Amino acid sequence: MGSAVDLGNNNMGEFKHLVIVKFREDVVVDEILKGLENLVAEIDAVKSFEWGQDLESQEMLRQGFTHVFVMTFDKREDYAVFQSHPKHQEFSAIFSAVIEKLVLLDFPPTLVKTPPKAAPPEAPPA
């Protein structure tokens, strides 16, 4: 089959690091979140960081996973900087010890349907 299909645009070279996890039962998740917050605050290469806890997916569909973490980088090279950063490596060791399972996906995001733009400021009266 051909594929002369416009499948959206990459956001100017952005790169994302997605992690979904199931934590071990005895873990204080707030402490891990605080550690992640400190980590991304300390590493300039991380452009933005967002997380969430599943609220309503059926257990059959979420398969035990409960949390998602998404870091956004301006470019793939910045992700490489993050990966090799000593503070990231230090945190990874802590993180590995508190999770029961995880999936990682690293990808250039393609935005197909864009959020509506904010209205431009009103022009001053002529």
Q: Give the span between the Cα atoms of 79 and 74, in whole angstroms.
A: 8
Site for its own copies in 92-121 (CB under 8 A): 102-116
Site for its own copies in 10-69 (CB under 8 A): 16, 18, 20, 28, 30-31, 33-34, 36-37, 40-41, 46-58, 61-63, 65-66, 68
Q: Residue 29 CB, nearest distance to its own copies (Å)?
A: 9
Residues 6+ apart with CB under 8 A from 32: 23, 94, 95, 98
Q: Across-strand partners of 21?
A: 67, 102
Name the DSSP letter for residue 122: P
Q: Residue 22 CB, nearest distance to its own copies (Å)?
A: 10
Residues 6+ apart with CB under 8 A from 9: 110, 111
Q: Residue 10 CB, nearest distance to its own copies (Å)?
A: 9
Closest to 14 measured CA to CA, from 70, 53, 68 = 70
Verify binding: residue 77, its own copies, rule CB under 8 A: no
Q: Residue 71 CB, nearest distance to its own copies (Å)?
A: 8
Q: How many residues does the chain have?
A: 126
Residue ranges that bind its own copies, judged by CB under 8 A: 1, 3, 5, 7-8, 16, 18, 20, 28, 30-31, 33-34, 36-37, 40-41, 46-58, 61-63, 65-66, 68, 72, 76, 102-116
